[in-house]
Structure 1
């Protein structure tokens, strides 16, 4: 392990994924002023623009396709999937549920492999895998076949979201991260809109080649994923150290700004984990913030997946035709994407996470309260409005909560493992939400809306507790003298007396 007192930025670290976090109290300009002789000519805004242009579009496209392929079963359902495969309502819900079993199990090993392998190779590889699985889903002939392909889809897609959430922290300081997470995650919202439009068009192919319209939804979207995967290696850059689109001085500036993020006294903290050790994974598993944050995550992802899988059905059951229901999902998702990006910009600017998360979680709660109050009263427009409000809360809250936890984990392997555990366990919400909206509860779906509301309220309580806990620890560390600490504070990650949690 390299000497942690080496603060040189004259040459990049051999292990190019080793970065830390930035104290929100330090003004932005201090990053550029930290070492005037080296970085006096660097324009931080220009460097960020370069990274945004080269990194975010491809990451967003990857996640758009992943979320499209994961959620298009909801569109296929109202185009005849359940009837053609002679499935019952509970069997359909079970095909949604099993995806998350393999998805959760394989997120941790995938993130550790991403840490060891090149992102420009690993991410396109898993993309090819899930594209093939998606294409094969279009030719299944039975409930068992659909169940098997959903299990395989969970394995293939497991590494994408936690991998990209971690990957972004390797490029951007933590007070810049949520805007980029939101740009990336807004692809999920766009996928929701795109899915409805695409399904509406593809369903017109019903009967082509002897295949039903819902089969073509799976086949064509799977083929599209594979094609994009072959382009992806040329558009994904592995690390700032090897980024050819940055000048040598800009690369050093990015590396330096990432290394000084944690320090409360402007010292550079180099947490260079040269080799994998199981203790990094154990540290992540035993970190209290991951387990408390998990309730916050569930409070957002239960509604996210409930809406993702059942929104077309919910709208159709309000009395609309299938084609109309597909199209009515579009304005909801487009609006949510715009709000998510704007909210993330303000959150980064204020260097605060929890107030924004709480605000948007309250919108989720209000949305489901409206749905419950209006269901069964002959006012489908009001129910639609309630769902609209809930989705506008979901999509800004999600990148906020993921960013908040990720920037408060320090130590590279610990952050990689921690994000995989957090997102993996958090996505068990998808397994739960898959069973919230039962066919026999249509069209009111009182049970589903009530469960979503309950999870949101618990999540809001967890968010408040997490903020107060961070504040208490930060105050205690303000009273400590790092020079008197028995261990090397620079090597302790987020448990260092120099580290300050972002609120």
Structure 2
């Protein structure tokens, strides 16, 4: 009866998130109690997940810092071989994403995330001992395969703790770790550069070894630090566990949480996910381009290698600030499309500054940029797959022959962000129209009692159920 009440009430509401924000609290904890519960979850989930992703992104992109410490010269890389070493990571990263999210659903997150983190950390340490192009290519393959499951996995994991309108800000906190990784990587690389020659090992190799060791130390504590799901969370009381599960149930209605391959196929056949994959690809391409090449771009503005490492820090700090603030405001007002569109315009302006001016001060300003559960898990993985296809492209955006201005690369990224803008505008418009259509049907039919058979049918419809509303 509770499920029926939730589902039918949601028919007449503007968005399902309105139910999550209003009805849920009134039927369970009061507003103050709910906020206290969410803060408790935040402190036990978000910081450690963010730390893991910070280390993951650092390990994936620190090759850009290592390049300034003579990586190419020592390994005798020629032509676009450096770019090949960047690109080879992403096909294996992409291939791992959907299977990894299925494993997150099948086994405990604490086990799976610890497993992949330990082995990508070990791979990173091994990358410090490569001697040629082939060795570096091999380590990048394994790095991509083990890291591929983290980002989609943690995004899916967050949806198992928070209602939909609460996820955006938490995911932004998690994703902001990538921007902090860029800042932290620059500072760390500058310090490690002083170790050049220690133990007969070059500075670029020490970057890989020390950062890999840091990651592997964190991975050894991950099994005990990661809470699996609310039902088994040790930090929650029995009453709090019940409340978290009740809120999630109310947020999803009676949609299925079963492990069944038909929900995977639902995601694969959903055209909307492919549009979001393209948006992610067009958005991730500039993110990866800057993560991999920002130290090189800054160095070509006339700075020394050591200063370039440090000068790469402020753009990431700026990006981190705007990522968190904008996501908080977007979640509060439940308007995401308009923020995406606004920041995409800012990104276009930034790349235009880089391409249009030869003055280092103007160029440097341009670098301050803004960066049913199984179907959900598969859909998230598919969208991140699209994003990491952008990583393959990003590996070849900035070629050495185009330096020092890299006008071609900046122009390519303007094109990609423009594509993301157009597709975001399309999806935002479509979701508004679809929500209005469902509201009209709901107003005409009114509240209806659902039979057991109707509930079973709706259980498998995911976001196609009549009462579901898209967040725009």
Pairwise TM-score range, normalised by the shorter structure: over 0.9
Query: Any residues of structure 2 matched to 1:225-374 within 5 Å, and which?
Result: 225-262=215-252, 269-274=253-258, 276-374=259-357
1:380 and 2:353 correspond: no
2:182 aligned residue: 192
How big is the shift at 1:121? 1.1
Whether the 8 Å contact between 1:100 and 1:154 is mirrored in structure 2 is: yes
Give a deviation string over 1:49-83, Cα, whole Å, max 9, x none.
10110001100110000000000000001100000
Unaligned segments of structure 1, at least 5 residues:
10-21, 263-268, 395-410
**Cα displacement (A) at 1:498:** 1.1
Aligned residue-pair number: 455
Distance 1:72 1:41 in 2: 44
Residue pair 1:138, 1:217 contacting (<8 A) in 2 also: yes
CA contact (8 A) 2:156 2:376 kept: yes
- Structure 2 CA distance, aligned partners of 1:30 and 1:418? 27
Query: 487-496 or 116-125: which moved more?
Result: 487-496
Match of residue 24 from structure 1: 17
Asked if the contact 1:32/1:42 (under 8 Å) is kept, the reply is no
Residue 18 of structure 2 aligns to a residue whose secondary structure is: coil
| 8 Å CA contact 1:42, 1:249 repeated in 2 | no
Point out the structure with the larger helix share: 2
Q: CA offsets per residue over residues 404-431 of structure 1, 9 Å max, x none? A: xxxxxxx111111111111013211000
CA distance in 2, matches of 1:259, 1:277: 19
CA contact (8 A) 2:20 2:163 kept: no
Once the two structures are TM-superposed, the CA of residue 457 in structure 1 deviates from its matched residue by: 0.4
1:416 corresponds to? 377
TM alignment of 1:32-71, pairs within 5 A:
32-35=25-28, 39=29, 43-71=33-61
Q: Say which of 121, 126, 130 aligns to 1:131.
A: 121
TM-score (norm 2): 0.93
Give SS of 1:87's match.
coil
**Structure 1 position 278, deviation (Å):** 2.1
2:471 alignment partner in structure 1: 502
Which residue, out of 454, 459, 462, partners 2:415? 454
Number of the residue aligned with 2:89: 99
Aligned to 1:493: 462
Between the aligned partners of 2:31 and 2:203, the Cα distance in structure 1 is: 57
Report if the CA contact (8 A) 1:68-1:188 is conserved. Answer: yes
Counterpart of 1:13 in structure 2 is none
Does structure 2 retain, via aligned residues, the 8 Å contact 1:296–1:458?
yes
**Deviation of 1:127 (Å):** 0.3
Inter-partner Cα distance in structure 2 for 1:289 and 1:330? 36
Q: Normalising to structure 1: TM-score of the pair?
A: 0.87
What is the match of residue 172 of structure 1? Answer: 162
Q: CA RMSD in A?
A: 1.9
**Structure 2: runs of 5+ lacking an equivalent:** 6-14
